[in-house]
Each structure stands twice: as C-alpha cells, then as structure tokens.
C-alpha cells in the first residue's frame, strides 16, 4: 500500500503524470508490463509498459468515439469484430445496440483481460454481454483464418504501433481487414495524436489509402493521451459518410449526432497534416 507517489509518461518533449494512491495489479505478461493503479483524481488507471491506456474518469471519450462512429455509418450492423480492446470499454459501448448479434474480441494479451475484469469493472462490464466472444490471439493470425465478408464493423482498438503492435498499421494487415469486411462494412482504427504523433497519423492514412477505395479521417479527444487531441481513421469498400442511426445509443456521456458531424468535419489543421504525406 502506497501512501502517495506519481506515475509519469513521457512522450517526446511532454510528460503527463498522475498521483497514485495504490497499486492494484502489476504483472509482466508475455507481451508487456500490465499495471492497474488507483489514482487520486482520475479513478483507476491501466498502464501497458508504462503507457496510459485507460483512466476511469475520461475513458468515455475514446470508447464512445471508436464504437459509435462506425456504428453510425453502417445500416443494421449485426456482426462486429474488435481487435485489441482488452479493457472491455469498446465492447461495453457496442453492447448498447440491440441489432448486434455477435461481437468477437481478439486480444493478444490475456493478462489485460484478466486484470481489467478484476479491477476495472466500469469498462470490463462489456464482457458480461452474452453476445461477446473472447479470443486470446494475435489479431493478424486471427484475420488470416477468417472467412471473407464476415463483419459489418471492424474496430482496431490497439496500442501504439510499436513492438508487437507494429503490424497494426501495415498494408498487409489492412488487406486482411478488407477481406474480412462485408461489402458495405466499415473499418475504424485509432491512429494516434495529430498534435503529438504526426508521423503515425500520416503513415496510417497512407497505408489505409493503398488498400481501401474509400477512406475517411476523424478527430476526437482523449484527455489522458499525449497531445489530448486524437485521430481515428475509417475505411470501407463503398462510399460512406452519412449518419444512419435513427436512435442514439443509451447512456452516452459524450456522444451525440452533432458531435459525430463535428468529429467527421475535417478541420483544417488535420487536413493539412494528412496532405503532407
């Protein structure tokens, strides 16, 4: 039991730190150091190799965006694939749609799921939905054995593309995604901060456009990530862009139709960044 200390995450020339009251979980998995800490002001936080993944106070911005944005663009999505997302927050948001019949979550690190179920019930409650099937497997390997045209929505809710996650922005990976996606399906991936991780954004955009006929980009905010402004990229085999939901998902803290339109509205700072490719 700690009386009080701090955890810091440096990203290039910036640092974010949180005051910590307690360490709830700290184990080295086959892939990374998994930590869940009790913070003073931001609820419980999960760090993977020292990088902030989730804090209970503001995780809703990220999870509502990555789940409801593609779900707002596909009519009657019934089958959804989540790659990564072992904390359960994305699945929690997807479970709000009664039309969905099956949610498959493919997380490489079982330790992340185990720690989240035990210590982050606010996000991991998504796993309680009977439509959710969990595969502890590498996303790329999963996709290689997936039948073509299987999913209405595919969500890549992974870590930054370094180390074992580097594959997540590669052209080969996007080709497997494209094969697994239905003809009117939508793929979304988090793609780093357009303020702090410019190269990651540009590389994701470039590779996505090499594979998909229709690509789109959106911004949102993730207060606890470096740069705070976040990017999401979308891809489809068909033209997309219209908001299709007739009803808003329940109990959202951030999401609404006006926010969807704004996040997709291509502000100039972001268009300029991607045009520099």
Binding segment (CB under 8 A) for its own copies, from list 6-14, 87-95, 115-123, 174-182 = 6-14
Q: Is 2 in the site for its own copies (CB under 8 A)?
A: no
From 30, 157, 160, 239, active-site residue: 157
Q: Which residue, 174 or 219, is less far from its own copies as judged by CB? A: 219
Pattern 185-204, binding to its own copies, x per CB under 8 A?
Answer: ----------xx--------
Q: How many residues bind its own copies (CB under 8 A)?
A: 42
Rounded Cα–Cα distance for residues 171 and 235 (Å): 13
Q: Which residue, 76 or 261, is less far from its own copies as judged by CB? A: 261
Q: Which residue, 49 or 198, is less far from its own copies as judged by CB? A: 198
Does residue 157 have an active-site annotation? yes
Rounded Cα–Cα distance for residues 89 and 240 (Å): 25
Q: Is 127 in the site for its own copies (CB under 8 A)?
A: no
For its own copies, the binding residue among 61, 174, 205, 217 (CB under 8 A) is 61
Pattern 97-116, binding to its own copies, x per CB under 8 A?
Answer: --------------------
Catalytic residues: 157
* Site for its own copies, rule CB under 8 A: 6, 8, 12-19, 39-42, 57-58, 60-61, 195-196, 221, 223, 227-229, 251-256, 258-259, 261-265, 267-269, 272
């Amino acid at each position: 039991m700690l009386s009080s200390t701090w955890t810091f995450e440096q990203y290039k020339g910036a640092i974010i730190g949180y005051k910590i009251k307690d360490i709830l979980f700290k184990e080295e998995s086959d892939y990374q150091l998994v930590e869940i800490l009790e913070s003073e002001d931001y609820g419980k936080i999960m760090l993977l190799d020292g990088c902030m993944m989730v804090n209970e106070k503001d995780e809703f911005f990220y999870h509502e965006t990555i789940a409801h944005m593609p779900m707002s663009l596909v009519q009657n999505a019934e089958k959804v694939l989540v790659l990564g997302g072992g904390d359960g927050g994305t699945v929690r948001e997807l479970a709000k749609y009664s039309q969905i019949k099956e949610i498959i979550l493919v997380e490489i690190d079982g330790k992340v799921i185990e720690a989240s179920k035990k210590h982050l019930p606010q996000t991991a409650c998504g796993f309680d939905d009977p439509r959710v099937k969990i595969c502890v497997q590498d996303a790329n390997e999963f996709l290689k054995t997936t039948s073509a045209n299987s999913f209405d929505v595919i969500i890549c809710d992974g870590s930054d593309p370094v180390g074992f996650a580097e594959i997540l922005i590669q052209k080969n990976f996007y080709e497997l995604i494209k094969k697994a996606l239905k003809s009117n399906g939508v793929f979304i991936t988090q793609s780093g901060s357009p303020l702090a991780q410019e190269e990651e954004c540009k590389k994701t955009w470039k590779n996505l456009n090499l594979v998909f006929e229709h690509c789109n980009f959106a911004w949102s905010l993730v207060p606890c990530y470096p740069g705070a402004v976040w990017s999401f990229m979308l891809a489809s085999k068909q033209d997309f862009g219209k908001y299709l939901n007739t009803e808003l998902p329940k109990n959202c803290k951030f999401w609404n139709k006006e926010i969807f339109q704004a996040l997709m509205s291509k502000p100039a700072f972001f268009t300029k960044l991607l045009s520099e490719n």
